[in-house]
């Protein structure tokens, strides 16, 4: 059978399976099994069992449930209240004032959770009521939270970077290092926009609050020390070469349990809820990864990735043209699938073209996560939009309009890392050379 017909068979089969509303992992298994049985003379059951075992038997993936558990523990702690109390005194003198707490709070929590939805929910449950009570513009309060919540995907320890590293056999520690500067850049872009908006819309800002004396600011900052210690313990141990990502994840769980106990939020009930939440999420991701691995093997038997790479090579597209096409593709795909599903579903297909174009796979991982971040605030399946819809009661498309400026800023961030790839590659290259 012609490869174009095989590709059409797989593509339409996947769309039909997803359209039924079944789990993404089940759709992956169904399409792969159908392709194996219909198109190649290989025992599909044996290949599936071997592939699923190989996908599950990965040491890199052991960090995944630990980081998820760490985020679940912190989600049920007093971390959001401590971050608001520690950051707000310093933000009152900046244009935009407490709107910056959303951005910095999300940046800090992203460095200990790795989850976009958890970052948005944890920071939002404290900041949104406070900002509303103080008279801040609702559009900006929700928009800054929607945009900044996506930092959980990029700033290490990012769950989606672990998934990408396992799928592409890239160093998770290098990917974590590569995400630091782009994450900081995105925070600065968001804060710059908020400051500019506040200066241009002074009538929409609440009255200026009384300045907090310097010593009181310093005293309030003490509430940030536990989370800073957690970040240093987890990320610092990786960057210093003292622990692997898996070992750092175990350290993070222990420190988060200690932090929750010290804040008085650790109980039998909260411990069980965090453990069950982490188990459900980890099983979901592992199921999707197993299905994606089986689909990858099925596609390899049909020869599609090899032929697709050769076809892309024959078109002689420049790397920039390829990246523009991939950006549009991922944004559209992200409108219907969550970020992890997008990564595992497309990696096996796009990797040959990326390698053909000579793009660095560490850099490409950061680019991919940035584009997937954009899909977190695009309807109809933007996870951050769902979280904010539940928290605010606003229609999901209304929340999407509020988040639009931050979606555009993410496009700017993508352009910047494409133009200056050193933003993603400088830190891992420097750390490893030392």
- Look at residue 2 in the predicted model and tell me its pLDDT: 53
Q: Distance between terminal CA atoms of the chain?
A: 52
- The answer, as to whether pTM is greater than 0.75, is yes
CA 404 – CA 332 distance, rounded (Å)? 15
Task: Give the H or E element holding residue 376.
Answer: none
- Look at residue 308 in the predicted model and tell me its pLDDT: 60
CA 246 – CA 171 distance, rounded (Å)? 12
Please count the residues of the chain.
434
- Look at residue 222 in the predicted model and tell me its pLDDT: 82
- Look at residue 90 in the predicted model and tell me its pLDDT: 81
- Look at residue 1 in the predicted model and tell me its pLDDT: 47
- Look at residue 11 in the predicted model and tell me its pLDDT: 63
Nearest to 183 by CA among 366, 405, 339: 366
Give me the tens of pLDDT residue by residue for the chain, a chain 434 residues long. 455 566 566 666 666 766 666 776 777 788 778 777 776 777 777 777 887 777 677 666 777 788 888 878 877 777 777 777 778 788 777 888 888 888 888 888 777 776 777 778 778 877 888 888 888 888 888 888 888 888 877 888 788 888 888 878 888 889 988 988 998 899 999 999 999 998 898 888 888 777 777 788 788 788 788 888 888 888 788 777 788 777 888 888 888 888 888 878 888 888 898 889 888 877 877 787 787 777 777 776 766 656 665 666 666 677 888 888 888 888 877 766 667 777 877 777 788 778 877 889 999 999 998 888 887 787 766 667 777 877 777 887 888 888 889 999 999 999 999 999 999 999 888 865 55
Give the torsion sign (CA, 255, 258, 264, 270).
positive
Give the domain ranges of the chain: 25-35+43-433
Helix (H, G, I), strand (E, B) or coil at 213: coil
CA 366 – CA 368 distance, rounded (Å)? 5
Q: How many other β-carbons are positioned within 10 Å of the β-carbon of residue 263?
A: 15
Q: Which two tokens stand for residue 341?
A: 């599903």
Q: How many other β-carbons are positioned within 10 Å of the β-carbon of residue 46?
A: 9
CA 419 – CA 367 distance, rounded (Å)? 11
Task: Give the H or E element holding residue 93.
Answer: none
- Look at residue 194 in the predicted model and tell me its pLDDT: 92
DSSP for 342-360 reads HHHHHHHHHHHHHHHTT--
Helix ranges restricted to H, 222-303: 225-231, 237-239, 245-262, 268-302
């Amino acid at each position: 059978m012609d490869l174009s017909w095989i590709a059409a068979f797989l593509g339409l089969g996947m769309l039909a399976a997803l359209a039924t509303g079944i789990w993404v992992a089940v759709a992956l298994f169904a399409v792969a099994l159908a392709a194996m049985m219909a198109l190649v003379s290989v025992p599909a059951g044996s290949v599936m069992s071997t592939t699923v075992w190989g996908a599950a038997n990965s040491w890199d993936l052991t960090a995944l449930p630990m980081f998820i558990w760490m985020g679940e523990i912190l989600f049920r702690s007093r971390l959001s209240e401590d971050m608001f109390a520690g950051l707000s005194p310093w933000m009152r003198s900046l244009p935009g004032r407490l709107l910056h707490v959303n951005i910095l709070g999300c940046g800090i929590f992203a460095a200990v959770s790795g989850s976009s939805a958890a970052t948005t929910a944890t920071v939002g449950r404290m900041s949104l009521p406070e900002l509303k009570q103080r008279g801040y513009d609702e559009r900006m309060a929700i928009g800054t939270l929607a945009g900044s919540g996506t930092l959980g995907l990029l700033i290490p320890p990012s769950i989606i970077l672990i998934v990408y590293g396992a799928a592409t056999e890239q160093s998770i520690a290098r990917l974590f290092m590569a995400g630091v500067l782009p994450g900081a850049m995105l925070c600065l872009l968001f804060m710059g926009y908020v400051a500019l908006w506040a200066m241009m819309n002074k009538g929409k800002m609440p009255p200026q609050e009384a300045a907090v004396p310097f010593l009181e600011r310093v005293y309030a900052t003490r509430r940030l020390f536990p989370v800073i210690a957690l970040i240093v313990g987890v990320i610092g141990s990786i960057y210093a070469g003292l622990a692997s990502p898996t070992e750092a994840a175990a350290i993070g769980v222990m420190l988060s349990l200690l932090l929750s106990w010290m804040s008085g939020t650790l109980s039998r009930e909260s411990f069980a809820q965090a453990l069950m939440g982490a188990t459900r999420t980890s099983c979901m991701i592992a199921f999707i990864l197993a299905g994606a691995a089986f689909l990858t093997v099925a596609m390899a038997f049909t020869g599609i990735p090899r032929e697709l790479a050769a076809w892309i090579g024959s078109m002689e597209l420049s790397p920039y043209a390829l990246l523009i096409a991939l950006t549009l593709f991922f944004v559209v795909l992200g409108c219907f699938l969550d970020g992890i599903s997008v990564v595992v579903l497309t990696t096996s297909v796009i990797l040959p073209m990326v390698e053909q174009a000579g793009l660095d796979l560490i850099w490409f991982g950061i680019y991919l996560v940035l584009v997937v971040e954009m899909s977190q605030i695009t309807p109809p399946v933007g996870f951050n939009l769902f979280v904010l819809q539940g928290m605010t009661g606003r229609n999901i498309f209304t929340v999407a309009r509020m988040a639009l400026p931050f979606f555009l800023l993410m496009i700017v961030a993508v352009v910047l890392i494409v133009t200056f790839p050193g933003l993603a590659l400088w830190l891992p290259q420097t750390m490893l050379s030392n």
